[in-house]
Amino acid sequence: MLFKRIYQFLIVYTISILFLLMIKMVLSLSDYVIPGVPLIIETAGQVFKTYFFDVMNTLSITVLGQFMSIIMAFTVGIAGRKSSWIGSFIKVTAYNIQAYPIVALAPIIFILLGDGFISRLLIASMICYFPLLLSVLGIMATPVEDVEHFYIVTGQMRWQLEVKIRAFENLSKLTTVISGSATLAMAGTIVAEFIAANAGIGYSIRIALYQSDLAKILIALFVIGIIISMYQGVLETIGEQIKTKWSVSNQGEVI
Amino acid sequence: MIKHGFLVRRYIVTVLLAVLILATPCYAKEIKVNYRLKWLFNTSVAGDLYADEQGYFKEAGLMVNIKEGSPEKNAINELELGYANFGVASADQVIRALDKGAKIYVIAQLFQVNPMQWIYRTDQPEIKTLQDLRGRKIGVTFGGNDETIMNTLFAKAGITKNDVIITGVRFDFTPFLKRKVDVWPVYRNSQGVILENKLAREGEAVYFFNPADFGVNFVANSVITSETMLKKKPEIVEKFLGALLKGWEAAMNPENKKIALEIVKKLDKGNNDEIRRHQLIATRDLIKPFSALKIGTIKANAWKQTEHIMLKEKLIKKSVNIETRLIQVK
């Protein structure tokens, strides 16, 4: 899973670079507009190490922001799974708030909280929180009647069991959503850094943009792509392992 | 009856043909030109807008589409890609592009004094020498030309990064207003006026720190075009520049202040009349610092100094012989 993602990214990246080089060649553009291969390699030599640490800095915020989002989404999702008035209220509120473009709030966050760690974390978690919440709400509010019926009629159903059944039955979906939300969290962090932060790869991209240095931007995109692919691959692998272990332990109980 | 109807139709056709014949040459003569500015529509581009609104471009047989700029929009890229025929770029952009093989020429230098300056409150000691920068909390835009200018000033004064507190800044003035940064980079004629006005309302006065006063003449916005345009269509370049500079001369003439402000007001919705009035005065001081100066004059020495600074700061790999890329169109 991990290597598959990296290979996929490398293929897409290479095709994109080839496409840019083709445009450069056809339109006879200078290295200022689209850098040639030697300049890209030279720039990589100069900035790769710096950008790697910048991406790791961004990733640390991403992971933390995503973790916060997952906790929040599951807490609210579990609370809102019921068809009671509070459940309906949570669902309606979540659907309405998620329709608002969170990025538009970023300048206000930066004015109030400054351009440090907290602002980046807040924006990253807000951007990936709502899509996560909607998926978790959808999963948690949908009964798995075949399984749940047994526990309900035997009087053994508790909320913890209900959550567990629904999570287990939709584990693939949850893994995909969590893995996908990593991209959102990363995008959120980069946008936050791009707008106002003083650290991270988004900030470095902004500096490169000031200098109209596409070679630097291409290197930044490469490092981001590789690292986010690895992170998503790791998340998917963890999801697979949890699923396998859970299946085995459940089988054990049944036997 | 039939004859009458025929005559009416013939009359209508004749009139339509006459209109068509009269109208066609005047549109056919106008050559479409795209002009990409460096920044948003405000008083900084008063001359460009003036030339358009007062019909100077039209008189020259040009239909100019003035396109607003922004940090993400780059006139040099657009020249190469063919989206623009003329553009405005700062000297550092031009020199960087030449270093990477771009085929462009500078045909006029709009700002004779760089508007990139630093603002600070008068309750702080005045910066009379570069040594007065020591110990200050100074804002710079990392990657921007203000960083290059400040580094040059530090080098000139023998100041190291340990002698000052450098903070990266953006468009949001909050750190300056909250006094987290003492010396804040601004475009003297736009943000500088806004901040000065804002602080004046709080009873605070300001100074501006101008690097040119300390011998650092880093060239700012200039009009550029592509090598192809200059070589293949020199007559269009001449007409465009003639009309453009006529617009700038008129807009910077205090007698035309009212018209210039009215023109800018139509497109600049972000500022009020009072701010725009002050911005126009500040812009005039930077574009036409003394009345005898012809707007658009290219200061070759300042360009050479800018190139030298960029070489020293390792922002370019080799000399681009900037003087060969400066064409003072008559």
pLDDT tens per residue across all 330 residues of chain B: 445 555 666 666 666 656 555 555 444 568 899 999 998 899 999 999 999 999 999 999 999 999 998 877 889 999 999 999 999 999 989 999 999 999 999 999 999 999 999 999 999 999 999 999 999 999 998 888 888 889 889 988 899 889 999 988 877 788 899 899 999 999 999 999 999 999 999 899 999 999 999 988 889 899 999 999 999 999 999 999 999 999 999 999 999 999 999 999 999 878 889 999 999 999 999 999 988 889 999 999 999 998 998 898 888 889 999 999 998 866
At the topology level, CATH places domain B116-214 in: D-Maltodextrin-Binding Protein; domain 2 (3.40.190)
Q: Is the ipTM of this complex over 0.85?
A: no
Of B178, B163, B176, B177, residue with least CA distance to B133: B163
A208 in B contact zone (CB under 8 Å): yes
Contact residues, chain A, for B82 at CB < 8 Å: 27
Residue A243 has pLDDT above 80, yes or no: no
- Residues in Cβ contact with B248 at an 8 Å cutoff, skipping those fewer than 6 apart: B46, B47, B48, B50, B51, B110, B287, B295, B296
Distances (CA, A) of A114 to A117, B167, B175, B198: 9, 13, 8, 21
Distance, C-alpha A103 to centroid of its chain: 15
**pLDDT band (50, 70, 90) for residue A120:** confident
- What gap in Å lies between CA A128 and CA A223, rounded to an integer? 21
E strand or H helix at B14, and its extent?
helix B2-29
Cα B248–Cα B249–Cα B252 angle in degrees, nearest 5: 80
> Do the Cβ atoms of A61 and A200 come closer than 8 Å?
yes
Count Cβ neighbours within 10 Å for each residue of A44-66 and write b for 16 or more, e otherwise. Answer: beebeeebeebbebbbebbbbbb
- Cross-chain Cβ contact B81/A27 below 8 Å: yes
Has residue A253 got a pLDDT over 70? no
What is the pLDDT averaged over residues A123-149?
84
Q: What is the pLDDT of residue B26?
A: 47
| Residue A55: both structure tokens together | 């991406």
Structural tokens at position A68: 């916060």
Contact yes or no for B285/B67 (Cβ under 8 A): no
Q: Looking at CA atoms only, how far is residue B6 from chain A in angstroms?
A: 56
CATH class of B32-113+219-325: alpha beta
pLDDT at A255: 35
* Paired tokens of A213: 């240095």
Whether residue A81 contacts residue A89, with contact meaning beta carbons closer than 8 Å, is answered with no
Tens of pLDDT along A209-241? 888 889 999 999 999 999 998 888 888 888 778
- CB burial of B74-90 (b: ≥16 within 10 Å; e: otherwise) equals bbbbbbbeeebbbbbbb
Question: What is the DSSP code string of B39-82?
Answer: S-SSGGGHHHHHHHHTTHHHHTTEEEEEE---TT--HHHHHHHT
Chain B positions touching A30 (Cβ under 8 A) are 80, 97, 100-103
Q: From the CA atom positions of chain A, what is the Rg in Å?
A: 22
The closest alpha carbon to A103, from A194, A198, A191, belongs to: A191
Domain with CATH 3.40.190.10 in chain B: 32-113+219-325, 116-214
User: Which residue segments constitute the domains of chain A, with CATH numbers given?
Assistant: 2-248 (1.10.3720.10)
Q: What does the pLDDT average to over A38-48?
A: 93
Average pLDDT of chain A is 84
CB neighbour burial string for A93-125, b if at least 16 within 10 angstroms, e if fewer: ebeeeeeeebbeebeebbeebbbeeebbbbbbb
Label residue A18 by pLDDT band (50, 70, 90): very high
Give one DSSP letter per residue of A124-189, joined into a string.
HHHHHHHHHHHHHHHHHTS--HHHHHHHHHTT---HHHHHHHHHHHTHHHHHHHHHHHHHHHHHHH
Rounded Cα gap, residues B210 and B116, in angstroms: 8
What does the alpha-carbon distance between residue A21 and residue B167 come to, in Å, rounded to a whole number?
37
- Name the residue among B74, B170, B174 with its Cβ closest to that of A212: B74
Average pLDDT of A142-161?
A: 84
Burial B34-63 (b: 16+ CB within 10 A, else e): bbbbbbebbbbbbbbbbbbbbebbbebbbe
Q: Which of A82, A92, A239 is nearest to A170 (CA)?
A: A239
Q: Which residue of A has its CA nearest to B92?
A: A211
**Better-predicted residue by pLDDT, A151 or B27:** A151
Confidence of residue A107 (pLDDT cuts 50, 70, 90): confident
Q: Quick check: helix, strand or coil at residue B121?
A: strand
Does A124 score more than 90 pLDDT?
no
Give the single-character DSSP code of B214.
G
Tens-place pLDDT, residues A65-82: 888 888 888 888 888 777
| Angle subtended by helix axes A159-169 and A117-140, to nearest 10 | 90
- When scoring A26, A30, A216 by the number of chain B Cβ atoms within 10 A, the one with the most, hence best to mutate, is A30
User: Which chain B residue is nearest to residue A42, measuring alpha carbons?
Assistant: B317
Amino acid A30: pLDDT: 92
Q: Which of A217, A30, A47, A201 is nearest to B96 (CA)?
A: A30
Instruction: Tell whether A199 lies on the interface with B, counting CB pairs under 8 A.
Output: no
* Residue of chain A with shortest Cα separation from B170: A196
Distance CA B311, CA B319 (A): 7
Q: Is B210 helix (H, G, I), strand (E, B) or coil?
A: coil
Q: What is the pLDDT of residue A251?
A: 56
C-alpha B79/C-alpha B223 separation (Å) is 12
Contact between residue B166 and residue B140 where contact means Cβ atoms under 8 Å apart: yes
Query: What distance separates the 2 farthest-apart alpha carbons in chain A?
Result: 76
Which stretch of DSSP H or E encloses residue B120? strand B116-121
Residue from A32, A206, A207 whose CB has the most chain B CBs within 10 Å, to mutate: A32
Chain A touched by B144 (CB under 8 Å): yes
